[in-house]
DNA sequence: CTGAAAGCGCTAACAG
DNA sequence: CTGTTAGCGCTTTCAG
């Protein structure tokens, strides 16, 4: 690797002059045009590229940020991780920043990631968190980092760490509103039986209530998780009885898809007879026939906002929490 | 951030001693146990973490590698990018290395990525390439990099850059063998009409020939691309005639899925009457009913091998090209 | 057993 | 207009 002093020696001037010319840091003075030309030419000829490490050491800025992502972010195959990563990468590229990616799940793994990032390789950290993790523990560790940290989690994990949030209550109400707007009168709520589901359920219920409807207990189907295989038996049982419901809100796209397949096999037309709304708006939505309507958690937008927020934090501005609202993406499994 | 000299001052010794003790680089001598204890204790108390940048500057090693990934790696939603990224990340974490991720597509974007990586932030580069890219141009740029580079592409892009390959011819023959082994006698080949498809077709044809069968021209359906919507009309037309085929090899999972949905809607049983094999073995395969059999490009394994190869290259070993063979993942759309 | 000194490649005063 | 100097934080001889 050719260095500044290589260029300087070749040109016959000092390294600092080369540095100043190459970086355009001549202040209010300037170099002889002849000199400038020669430096530029020589630097190019020698294939000089500045050593980012050396620069970072002296300037204390790295033009790089670390992103901590939970392994298996989102349901497997949801495409959430890919969506988040590519949105982040795009945003960073636009800012001329580099991306250091670290996967983690447990507090120990976060500690490793922090040890990698803290010292002096990045300017800040964007940490994506998930319900299944040990949030208090993770939050404590992140708070202790000397680096600026922004989190991406449903709600703020700490007053001091700006968070880009998304209320699961809103996800539930978004699904309900979408179904009602599409003409549903009695939707069923598929319950994945976790904390997320609880909040979504409350949103779902509230939205129905706003329209003067109530969610009957028998219209909450508890599935005990996100396994698409758990749905068909439950669904078939419900179909054997005289269905008194006309819509289905699923906690994931694969579950929605599972419902779609089972219904169509039974000869039930979607969305004419039953309407379906998934959650996450992942790539799967585009592959089904009809294509799956879904509630998007706005992951790409949240990621981008996370990066922007982090930049401002790094720049020393004081920034607060943000919360995005989920968005309904209408496709073929809901009527228009 | 507390530095070595902070610790040294507190302890009352020199920074170099602290460094040696903390890194276990005392050579054949050693420090007074009392001193060692005190240094360790103080370093811990002050929350000292070594500055990776400073270390990298002096040692010339960064414990980080760059991964260049094509935007939209694989068909959208194929999950290939996620599979590749997480396999790489896992491998690197095990090696205690950091991952710098860069997306690119065009030669210009590669140039940017190289400019970011070359100077002094990473020890090597793993470049994933794709048929749709301007390979000769990209190869030239990668060759010019002073850093060790390993490529992940179907075939080697340059004699000098170790490649972890996968022959599309093998993908075709893998699909054919799988179908024949499952009892197919006359499979149809879905042609996505690109260079990849050509090679797969030749493999498909060769494998049939090995079994004494020939692929009739009317059993090659040209789709002009990977759009799943293009298949149903073609398929329905074929079903109107008396089908003289009993299997379908699709160039992607979504296309295979499209076939599956259309067939079942027409009341045709899969895999009893028609068998289907997809390509990529993406997450979609697990969501369909029945689940989709697919030919895996071994992306996770290839990525891991890519990292290992790069490590050896960085270590100064001379390494050659490798080629993995695709693997058939049997699920519900083929008979056993 | 411990410390002083040199230097990785670059930048930012400060002098000329 | 250009060069000298002094570090950024760490590691590595080389002397004590």
pLDDT attached to residue A327? 98
Residue nearest to nucleotide C3 (CA to C1'): B14
CA A242/CA A9 separation, integer angstroms: 88
CA B113/CA B129 separation, integer angstroms: 14
Q: How many CA atoms lie within 13 A of A246 on its CB side?
A: 13
Reduce the DSSP state of residue A25 to 3 states and report it: coil
Residue B225 CA to chain centroid, in angstroms?
22
Contacts of A258 in chain B (CB under 8 A): 287, 289
Reduce the DSSP state of residue A235 to 3 states and report it: helix
Q: Do B283 and A77 touch (CB under 8 A)?
A: yes
Q: Where are the alpha helices (DSSP H) in chain A?
A: 4-11, 15-23, 33-45, 52-59, 80-95, 107-117, 135-144, 168-181, 195-210, 231-240, 253-265, 299-314
Residues of chain A below pLDDT 50: none
Contacts of A85 in chain B (CB under 8 A): 81-82, 85, 101
pLDDT in tens, chain B (336 residues): 899 999 999 999 999 999 999 999 887 778 899 999 999 999 999 999 999 999 999 999 999 999 999 987 676 667 778 889 999 999 999 999 999 999 999 999 999 999 888 767 999 999 999 998 999 999 999 999 999 999 999 999 999 999 999 999 999 999 999 999 999 999 999 999 999 999 999 999 999 999 999 999 999 999 999 999 999 999 999 999 888 999 999 999 999 999 999 999 888 999 999 999 999 999 899 999 899 999 999 999 999 999 999 999 999 999 999 999 999 999 999 998
**CB proximity B258 to A under 8 Å:** yes
Q: For residue A164, what are the contacts with CB-CB under 8 A and spacing of at least 6?
A: A150, A151, A152, A302, A305, A306, A309, A321, A322, A323, A324
Reduce the DSSP state of residue A177 to 3 states and report it: helix
CA distance B279 to chain A (A): 15
A103-134 pLDDT tens trace:
999 999 999 999 888 767 999 999 999 988 99
pLDDT attached to residue B66? 96
Q: Do A71 and B93 touch (CB under 8 A)?
A: no
Q: Do B52 and A121 touch (CB under 8 A)?
A: yes
CB of B263 closer than 8 Å to CB of B275: no
CA A58/CA A182 separation, integer angstroms: 60
8-state DSSP, A292: P
CA distance A81 to chain B (A): 7
Establish whether the CB of B26 is closer than 7 Å to any nucleic acid atom in strand D.
no
Chain A CA closest to residue B285? A77
Residue A269 CA to chain centroid, in angstroms?
34
CA distance A207 to chain B (A): 30
CB of A62 closer than 8 Å to CB of B64: no
Q: Which strands form B187-191's sheet, in the order they lie side by side?
A: B220-222, B187-191, B247-249, B275-279, B293-296, B327-329
Instruction: Report the C-alpha dihedral over residues B325, B326, B327, B333, rounded to 10 degrees.
Output: -160
pLDDT attached to residue B76? 65
A35-88 pLDDT tens trace:
999 999 999 999 999 999 999 999 999 999 999 999 876 766 677 788 899 999
Instruction: Report the C-alpha dihedral over residues A212, A215, A219, A224, rounded to 10 degrees.
Output: 150
**CB proximity A95 to B under 8 Å:** no
Tokens of A253: 């796209």
8-state DSSP, A331: -
| Pick from B53, B102, B146: CB nearest A121 | B53
Q: Do B287 and A289 touch (CB under 8 A)?
A: no
Q: Do A261 and B76 touch (CB under 8 A)?
A: no
Q: For residue B19, what are the contacts with CB-CB under 8 A and spacing of at least 6?
A: B4, B25
Establish whether the CB of A32 is closer than 7 Å to any nucleic acid atom in strand D.
yes
């Amino acid at each position: 690797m050719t260095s500044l002093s290589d260029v300087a020696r070749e040109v016959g001037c000092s390294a600092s002059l080369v540095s100043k010319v190459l970086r355009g840091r001549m202040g209010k003075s300037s170099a002889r045009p002849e000199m400038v030309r020669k430096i530029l030419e020589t630097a190019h000829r020698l294939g000089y590229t500045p050593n980012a490490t050396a620069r970072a050491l002296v300037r204390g800025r790295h033009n790089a940020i670390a992103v901590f992502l939970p392994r298996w972010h989102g349901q497997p195959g949801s495409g959430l991780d890919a969506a988040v990563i590519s949105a982040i990468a795009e945003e960073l590229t636009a800012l001329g920043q580099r991306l250091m990616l670290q996967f983690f799940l447990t507090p120990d793994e976060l500690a490793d990631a922090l040890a990698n990032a803290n010292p002096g390789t990045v300017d800040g950290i964007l940490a994506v968190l998930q319900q299944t993790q040990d949030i208090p523990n993770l939050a404590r560790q992140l708070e202790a980092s000397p680096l600026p940290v922004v989190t991406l989690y449903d709600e703020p994990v700490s007053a001091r760490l700006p968070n880009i949030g998304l209320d699961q209550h809103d996800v539930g109400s978004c699904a309900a509103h979408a179904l009602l707007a599409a003409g549903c009168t009695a939707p069923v709520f598929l319950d994945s039986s976790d904390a997320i589901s609880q909040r979504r359920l409350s949103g779902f219920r509230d939205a129905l209530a706003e329209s003067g409807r109530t969610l009957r207990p028998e219209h909450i189907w508890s599935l005990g998780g996100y396994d698409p295989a758990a749905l068909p038996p439950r669904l078939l049982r419900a179909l054997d009885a005289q269905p008194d419901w006309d819509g289905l809100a699923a906690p994931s796209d694969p579950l929605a898809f599972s419902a779609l397949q089972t219904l169509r096999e039974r000869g039930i037309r979607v969305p004419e007879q039953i309407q379906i709304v998934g959650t996450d708006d992942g790539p799967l939505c585009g592959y089904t026939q009809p294509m799956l309507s879904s509630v998007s958690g706005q992951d790409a937008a949240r990621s981008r906002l996370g990066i922007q927020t982090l930049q401002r934090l790094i720049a020393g501005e004081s920034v607060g929490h943000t919360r995005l609202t989920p968005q309904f993406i209408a496709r073929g499994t809901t009527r228009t």
